[in-house]
Amino acid sequence: MRGVLSKQAAREWAKQQRRALTEAEYECLNTALLERLKALFNWQSITYIHVFLPILRQREPDVRPLLDFIRQEVPALKVMVPKVKDASLEHYYLLPGMELQMSPWGVPEPLDTAPLVAPSELENIDLVLVPLLAFDRCGRRVGYGKGYYDTFLSSLPHALRVGLSLLPPLEKIEDIEPHDVPLHLVVTPVQVYDFRLAAEKATHAHLIKTQSSVP
């Protein structure tokens, strides 16, 4: 059932659905999602992208092949990644061959010696790829409940917020709060969901490669 769920019920549903995937199913869904993502954007128009590195034990979308694509096709594109530190997110530039360490939650993270992104440089971000557990047909997102990304996204009103999901949407997540930041787009293996208002579509038009692929 993918009906009306609370945040906690949505989390449990998504975790259960992910756990039920075989390795072959996971890889097939992930490949289809990444191909749809690569075809969606005009990558030459993006100068700064913020990307999450996957918690593989949670069956999150694995964006590492996308990073290989970026290095090959748009090497000038600057890639940023987050790191949880002191109960908030810090942000680092991800460079080719950079050493990463595994956090207690299973997230690959830069070392503290990696190049730190200055707060003023976050304003340069064109596109944020956002992790999630579940989303609904209004673009509302549920993560793991810490609020790190809601705080981060609320500071970037100009950036295009794009969720990645191996699973289809719920009809509605019912206990959304004012501080929960909605997504502009969600890319799944099957289709792209567009939740933007008309003004937002105009703002981000130069980033979207094929408007017809976004219903």
Predicted TM-score (pTM) of this structure = 0.95
Give domain limits for the chain. 4-213
72 annotated among ligand-binding-site residues: no
142 annotated among ligand-binding-site residues: yes
64 annotated among ligand-binding-site residues: no
Q: How many helices (H) and strands (E) does the chain have?
A: 5, 13
- For the segment 6-15, what is each residue's pLDDT rounded down to a tens digit? 999 999 999 9
**Among 33, 122, 35, 34, CA closest to 78:** 122
* Partners of 164 in beta bridges: 187
**Among 32, 42, 43, CA closest to 67:** 43
What's the pLDDT at 28? 98
Reduce the secondary structure of 6-55 to three states and give it as a string. Answer: CHHHHHHHHHHHHHCCCHHHHHHHHHHHHHHHHHHECHHHCCEEECCCCC
19-29: average pLDDT = 97
146 annotated among ligand-binding-site residues: yes
What's the pLDDT at 209? 83
**Among 32, 114, 112, CA closest to 65:** 32
10 annotated among ligand-binding-site residues: yes
92 annotated among ligand-binding-site residues: no
- Using CA of residue 132, residue 110, residue 44, residue 36, what is the dihedral sign? negative
pLDDT at 166 over 90: yes
pLDDT at 88 over 90: no
What's the pLDDT at 212? 40
Q: Nearest 5°: CA angle at 131, between 127 and 132?
A: 130
What's the pLDDT at 64? 97
What's the pLDDT at 87? 81
- For the segment 167-194, what is each residue's pLDDT rounded down to a tens digit? 999 999 999 888 899 999 999 999 999 9
What's the pLDDT at 3? 84
8 annotated among ligand-binding-site residues: yes
Question: Which numeric CATH code is attached to 4-213?
Answer: 3.40.50.10420
193 annotated among ligand-binding-site residues: no
pLDDT at 214 over 80: no
Answer with the residue of higher pLDDT: 119 or 147.
119
